[in-house]
Amino acid sequence: MTDPCAPSDTPPPAVQPLQVKLLDPRYGRDWPLPDYATAASAALDLRAALDAPLALAPGDAALVPSGLAIHLADPGLCALVLPRSGLGHKHGIVLGNGTGLIDADYQGPLLISVWNRGVETFTIQPGDRIAQLLLLPIVRAALQVVDTFQHSARGDGGFGHTGVR
């Protein structure tokens, strides 16, 4: 039987260059550059480039600077800003917009919309890892207007069509 925790023979994922501007001088001095937390992590951690702690009461939202700007340049890529699951589950800290989409031609600062959907005030400290940045390939759609669709097993079954058990 193969040990599922044993090292894999699968090659590591491809590495894509990503241009980044450091908008906050604490990167490289007080904080490391964004990196992958583990060898199998899919996303880079983003930090709160705050000048002072930010207390978010329940229901509050704020735009938090990441201290970075990126330029993907490749129109075949996009980046997603995603919440950190531990912050969301343990503290109710999620993204105010759910997910942030960064287009390949955007070059401005990365701002993180943070929302406290929890029941207690949560304080974000300068340098805290509060979100993640995931690069994804893009497939563009060429719309094809049709009168009917080829039948599928699901058809037009919508929300909850398969039940819960």
- DSSP string covering the chain: ---TTSPP-SPPPP----EEEE-STTBTTTBPPP-BSSTT--SEEEE---SS-EEE-TT-EEEEEEEEEEE---TTEEEEEEE-HHHHHHH-EEETTSSEEE-TT--SEEEEEEEE-SSS-EEEPTT-EEEEEEEEE---------SS----SSTT--TTTT---
84 is in an annotated binding site: yes
155 is in an annotated binding site: no
23 is in an annotated binding site: no
77 is in an annotated binding site: no
128 is in an annotated binding site: no
156 is in an annotated binding site: no
102 is in an annotated binding site: yes
Known binding-site residues for substrate equal: 84-86, 97, 101-103
Query: Which residue ranges are tagged as binding site?
Result: 84-86, 97, 101-103
